[in-house]
Amino acid sequence: MTPFPHLPPYPTVRLLPKADARAIRHGFPWVFANEMVLDRRTKKLAPGSLAILEDAERRPMAVVTVNPESKIAARVLDRDPEAVIDGDWIAEKLIRALRHREALFDAPFYRLVHAEADGLPGVVIDRFGDIAVLQPNAAWADAGAETIADALLAATGIRRVVLNGSGRARGLEGLGEELRMLRGDAPEAPVEVPMNGAVYMADLMGGQKTGLFYDQRPNHAFAAGLAKDARVLDVFSHVGGFGLAALAQGAASALAVDGSAPALDLARKGAEASGVADRFETRQGDAFDTLAALDKEGRRFEVVVCDPPAFAPSKSALEPGLRAYERIARLAAPLVEEGGYLVLCSCSHAADLSKFRAASARGIGKAGRKGAICYTGFAGADHPVLPQLAEGGYLKALVFRL
């Protein structure tokens, strides 16, 4: 892989005549492999190389990062073809991202960088106080991880940086998995994260993704507002997301269901740190099986939440994924008391809001229930979305009153 940063002059890559150059000029951040001239010279560029993108008439358009081995052959870094991509350039992006988060939150716990929407394609950074977890999901960011870490320390006050190289996106870029400290010592215990009045435990070195899902913060808050004095069921709970937020707002009880014993252990520790352990219960098991078992046991709840992993992470998985969302709704609906609330979530890129909503409604109907949608939620404001890149708006949350 090409060392980063490497300085101008950058090589050139060119769009095919059929490619829509206007889309790039108007803000679309990607060039797909079937839109770019992939001659022998271009194919020899190392994944993560920097280049000048030209249109079919050889007019310079932008500085891009190139990966000839990926379906996304180029990602726009800067629309100024004269730009120099180095540590100072990265620091400027980080400072701009930081100003937005500091305007939103009074504590340093949030998604600091959300990839293309923050001007750093393929880069995800979650902040946990003075620790940042970096996910370099594009070849240029993987090659530049050390430079990004230095810029984080210089620009943000962060002192420790974890590199979490895992996930489907890295595989699509031809990158392997790794987990290591880039700067500072590894945290010896889970990090306490205050959010929505509760305390969550984030395992930054062994948990899912970066250790915590910040994207659901506003949806946690909305559902918690419905849960005062309520019995709450939180399925696919991870470290207690919806359940702990509900208890912090006065829920009578919360049952967290997840297949991961370590996640449930962190959820219990979060309940203890939040002072709500006496109202918190966990059950480990398959979500589908557990929903069916709870129905047989006659358990009923005023608020039921199902926040599964992505059932439809790609277009090829869309139809089976939609059937899975329908099945979840069908199994969960009978557990909701009359007049209660069913919260259904999807983080699938391939299942847009209308398809997810239709699948959820079918499942509720097949359970013999009916209800109106009283809330539609998305990821929080620390997860901005480029209007040209619909894939960024992956998270959907629907609240039905049954």
**Residues with catalytic roles:** 347
Contacts of 348 (CB under 8 A, 6+ apart): 310, 311, 312, 313, 321, 356, 394
**3-state SS assignment for residue 139:** helix
- In the three-class reduction of DSSP (H, G, I as helix; E, B as strand; rest coil), residue 31 is classed as strand
Residues 6+ apart with CB under 8 A from 199: 192, 193, 244, 270, 273, 274
- Separation CA 63–CA 43 (nearest Å): 17
The set of residues, in sequence order, having a beta carbon less than 8 Å from that of 393 and lying 6+ positions away, is 378, 379, 385
Sheet containing strand 396-401, strands side by side: 280-284, 253-258, 231-235, 301-306, 336-346, 396-401, 372-377
Work out the number of other CB atoms within 10 angstroms of the CB of residue 9: 6
Strand 396-401 and strand 372-377: the pairing is: antiparallel
Burial class (CB in 10 A: 0-12, 13-18, 19+), 363: buried
How far are the Cα atoms of 85, 214, 267, 296, 344 from residue 303, in angstroms, in the given order? Answer: 49, 21, 18, 18, 11
Query: What type of residue sits at position 100?
Result: H
Helix (H) or strand (E) holding 205: none
8 Å CB contact between 61 and 54: yes
For the chain, counts of helices (H) and of strands (E): 12, 19
Q: What's the length of the chain?
A: 402
CB 350 within 8 A of CB 311: no
State whether residue 283 is helix, strand or coil: strand
